[in-house]
Structure 1
């Protein structure tokens, strides 16, 4: 389940020590009146160093703004292993989905001047926007900004590239959407969706008559003095960027470029994001109207179905991930938050409109979650130092379970539950014990919960509470609330429908047999560009069937010999990025269409030639070529020579990248046993391969 996955991710991050020790923290405080924020600066320094020392972060940068002044600013970690390029307040990071706040602000700017009505159809402004599903005509700009349009999720093929500002993802979005169905009635519920903001970017361009990069500079970065905020379409000083590193090594990577700018492609600094926050604290007059700022901070998530209010970090506004971020509500303070994660960069912006304060934290490595916790800590220490709050409150729990008799009708809630790429076995015993297991990880112990007098199932430590909810749509959901503590960084709260009960899906023997033949097979991406950052991980998808969920491919319902689609409708993140499976054969080779990606069956992979010299050439289709590594080649050293229009990647049997041509085009890679090799490039690109 989502909570388990997040817990495991953060637990691993806690255990994982950064390979590179921090080289110190650069700090600057410009006090407001007699307040120098010395205690806050000290806490920020210590906790930033904690991120780089214990939470998998290579470098981190932070800033606090109060009443329009940057009062705390600093950095921790390393920027290059040689120590020649120190971190500064001007070091730029990719801010990922925090870019969505620029997109939301851009739409609201056009609302202010009367050019967009949030509740008119998007087709009124982008007439060539169309889909296979007629309900697309109901989608409004508001639904784009509150994640409720009903799109499948993310059309990001060739969006994440190394030092390459190819606009393919932007230029093909409308074409990709035209081939898609909706997963829900527009406005029915809000679930995180990148395509909503990619379309909003196009909406801004069509209505304003200018490109998105120029629009945000003219209306936001220039008026606010954000000199270090850029997009891939700007002239960039590559030496200004925070360094990125090959996994588990000191090999530096090229700059990461996210070419879906409106959904995740902006670069910035912590101080610049702090300046941007002035729009939402009323410190920057003339940028957005107070009406638009207030509208963005409203509880948009309540316009569709959603769990009852509880402590959490996700409750959508217009653009905002949260319009009531935990734990600030416990102090009577509204906090707005937006996080962002690219593959390699991470960001968080937390704004307290009523206090005219905000904190921004950016990092190379780590996660937006730990960045947000650092931003929370900086703000809480500053509020305490100012005297706005007396103390930082103790961490919370749901308490020890109080044994009670469980109503018999709850037994009916047992069964199989699913969310995007997740499958859960939920068992409920008559004695009130709830057990949740994950068939995808059979060796992982089942989670146990006990029925308590408050009508919920509680974990023994009191940090997790679970209920079953039947919504008005007739579907049953696993509602999970959780407090998760990260040593030194504070507490995270989550409340969400983590999964939906899957209905039985009977399929014919013929259909079932077709899927059984695919069970366990891998399919490899062939249409990702050779500069793609995703080459850092194995570009493949494995078909997996589980006896616990007949008629399903994990959470996707089998609908035919060659097709499967997720039928669940889970707000927040549970139904995020539901991408249908669509198989077909051509010349005896099976292919898989998976959103904008095209994959080929492992059956089509040939073993790499084990002699001393061979070559391979990318054909006119431009599709990548994959090879398996036979036993006779394992342990040999491969050297590849190619043109600048191509690259290669080598993966071990677990899918870890052990060699990437774009990083070391003329260096050697030892071929791992049972691994794979991918060659990608423009049509006609030739690779000369030597083994020794």
Structure 2
């Protein structure tokens, strides 16, 4: 569940730092000055908290089997009664995929799974409406090349709730989906592949995934603080979570697709886990399997030529050739993880028997990776492995050249997941990329150079247009992004694909014209779903000048649309299909197992002094608009235990959220906003308006 590089949350808080005991004793046994590494890690972690708004950070460094650096900083509980320690657990998000991969590889070693046999041989109940699914193998699940559309997450992200619905219904939901590419054609980040891997492990081993991990991985490694939502763990043992719309600390976030992103751990436990990949498998995983996981799986399908990057997939790993270590000739592998509120990174140097882990509440896995990199690079320098640090890279200030005709033809519309960009060029050497789907973002300006590339004036980003053997034209983006005092991120990938013309009939165009600009509000999510905290729904946007499309999706019928892009890496991840259905005269949007109701069915909230909202037998959440007449009025909501309420302003920003354990929430209503009530069937939520 990886986020884009610019996702750095800005929540400014005041924190204190806790230094671990035992660091000095461990450092005395080696010539490396681990105390200086400890100080560096503490300073950088403090930077994440004070300058980047991260709520809390935890970090650890392991060297030759010994945890030599460990610490944490930031805010935990609001009352400051429960301090952060090295035993405080964080959700590790997609870093959980490494546990799923290890579990599959163990079963491969036992001869129970063959990575290259069809998945249906092990899971005959796995079916899709697209017959190509029969060619999917376990390897394709682990290297992201299955062709699955991405993330089927109904009721997967819950607050204080370990409901297994998302896991239990995945196979059923996949039956309604098609593939977006031939299995094995290219690797594009795919969460569903790892939930399927979780199900595969359960089917072959005969154990539920949590039990399997504890028996075969966490217990043998002494990982005493690694759990899943299935385990019964006191809430006080987790790092605290906060959101501006919620007063006080949030319940623990449960990601109930365990193999995809549902594991909790500590930085020290992840450091211990890293030993499986540094030749210290302790009988859990063979060196052969560890090395197989580190092979360049991304090269097996469509992929740009190797450049400096943080994305180059192995089995499970995001990167098996991690920048900047690749520039020093050092093998480094990395797996990051982002849930909605937790973030994690594990960086391992297999040939140097070292690893660093960084976890956080809020923030970004990319930033966490930079902190892990800093600890490892400084340790390598202390050891003399690195003599001098290399300077930050750039493409230099561009010298403008005229754009030839064969390049000018690449102007037009380009798409990626949830994005459409308009590329405009001038013969004098200027190019502008405009974000059509997010017009509030500033245009990106590039200069054409004599070597055939477009470069930004600051020299940080380089773009080429590439047409591949599949006949598709891509924007090849290479980027060096400097994060002050933390290091540099490098990314080389096909970022977008040129959108093909899509002619549709007059009747189909009319059906979509009727939906243009309308919003569809989620109703099928459970009352504990974090989506009610974050979003008020999906708006249907047509792109001017691009007929036959709605946002990034190609219209395929009067009631369906689908992203048709084939972009390896991240550009076409989560290309879920839109399907519209009508129930009792009301139109709903069905996408990846989630249902959303048309705004046409949303009524204004009752303006009388007293009212009651009852959750109907279908269990759907109840949405209401907030008319101007209700603006700034105070609404007192009496919440039963199994219910929640969320309020959004006119722009769709969450301004107030409360779960049933709060009992009563007093809300100032925003003009032209919306409000949603969710709960168990039959729950009655009482309202008082003043």
In the other structure, the counterpart of 2:282 is 285
**3-state DSSP of counterpart to 1:559:** strand
- Say which of 169, 172, 182 aligns to 2:169: 172
- Say which of 665, 682, 685 aligns to 1:684: 682
In the other structure, the counterpart of 1:24 is 17
Matched residues in 2 for 1:78 and 1:614: separation? 39
Q: Does 1:484 align with 2:477?
A: no
Contact 1:193–1:576 (8 Å) recurs in 2: yes
In the other structure, the counterpart of 1:582 is 579
Shift of 1:664: 3.0
CA offset digits 1:544-595 (Å, max 9, x no partner)? 0121311100111111211111111101011100111111223322111111
In the other structure, the counterpart of 1:397 is 394
> What is the correspondence of 1:182-261 to structure 2 with a 5 Å cutoff?
182-247=179-244, 251-261=248-258
- Say which of 99, 103, 107 aligns to 1:106: 103
Q: Does 1:38 align with 2:28?
A: no
Q: Does 1:456 align with 2:449?
A: no
In the other structure, the counterpart of 2:121 is 124
> What is the correspondence of 1:601-680 to structure 2 with a 5 Å cutoff?
601-662=598-659, 664-680=662-678
In the other structure, the counterpart of 2:81 is 84
- Say which of 419, 437, 442 aligns to 2:439: 442
> What is the correspondence of 1:583-598 to structure 2 with a 5 Å cutoff?
583-598=580-595
CA offset digits 1:232-263 (Å, max 9, x no partner)? 11121211110011226761111111110010
In the other structure, the counterpart of 1:66 is 63
Contact 1:27–1:41 (8 Å) recurs in 2: no
Question: Which segment is superposed worse, 142-151 or 531-540?
Answer: 531-540
Shift of 1:225: 0.3
Matched residues in 1 for 2:440 and 2:151: separation? 31
Matched residues in 1 for 2:179 and 2:5: separation? 31
Shift of 1:64: 0.2
In the other structure, the counterpart of 1:523 is 520
In the other structure, the counterpart of 2:51 is 54
Contact 2:536–2:648 (8 Å) recurs in 1: no
Shift of 1:298: 0.4
Contact 1:301–1:317 (8 Å) recurs in 2: yes
Contact 2:12–2:54 (8 Å) recurs in 1: no
CA offset digits 1:493-545 (Å, max 9, x no partner)? 11111110011111122221221221111000000000111221123000001
Matched residues in 1 for 2:91 and 2:42: separation? 22
**3-state DSSP of counterpart to 1:493:** strand
Shift of 1:215: 0.6
In the other structure, the counterpart of 1:156 is 153
Contact 1:618–1:686 (8 Å) recurs in 2: yes
> What is the correspondence of 1:242-641 to structure 2 with a 5 Å cutoff?
242-247=239-244, 251-641=248-638
**3-state DSSP of counterpart to 2:409:** helix
**3-state DSSP of counterpart to 2:303:** coil
Runs of 4+ with >4 A deviation: 5-8
**3-state DSSP of counterpart to 2:646:** strand
Shift of 1:20: 1.4
CA offset digits 1:9-48 (Å, max 9, x no partner)? 45xx5xx4x4311212424522142434122111101000
Root mean square deviation, CA, Å: 1.5
Instruction: With the length of structure 2 as denominator, give the TM-score of the two structures.
Output: 0.97
**3-state DSSP of counterpart to 1:216:** helix
Identify unmatched segments of 5+ residues in structure 2.
none
Instruction: With the length of structure 1 as denominator, give the TM-score of the two structures.
Output: 0.97
Shift of 1:635: 1.4
Shift of 1:388: 1.4
Contact 1:150–1:186 (8 Å) recurs in 2: yes
Measured at CA, do residues 399 and 223 of structure 1 come closer, stay the same or move farther in structure 2, by a change above 3 Å?
same
Matched residues in 2 for 1:445 and 1:96: separation? 31
Shift of 1:427: 1.7
Contact 1:121–1:141 (8 Å) recurs in 2: yes
Contact 2:245–2:656 (8 Å) recurs in 1: no
Contact 1:62–1:270 (8 Å) recurs in 2: yes
Matched residues in 2 for 1:6 and 1:292: separation? 30
Identify unmatched segments of 5+ residues in structure 1.
none
**3-state DSSP of counterpart to 2:557:** coil
Matched residues in 2 for 1:577 and 1:467: separation? 25
Contact 2:245–2:657 (8 Å) recurs in 1: no
CA offset digits 1:288-320 (Å, max 9, x no partner)? 111111110000001110011100100000000
Shift of 1:7: 6.1
Matched residues in 2 for 1:553 and 1:644: separation? 40
Matched residues in 2 for 1:250 and 1:647: separation? 13
Matched residues in 2 for 1:164 and 1:500: separation? 39
**3-state DSSP of counterpart to 1:683:** coil
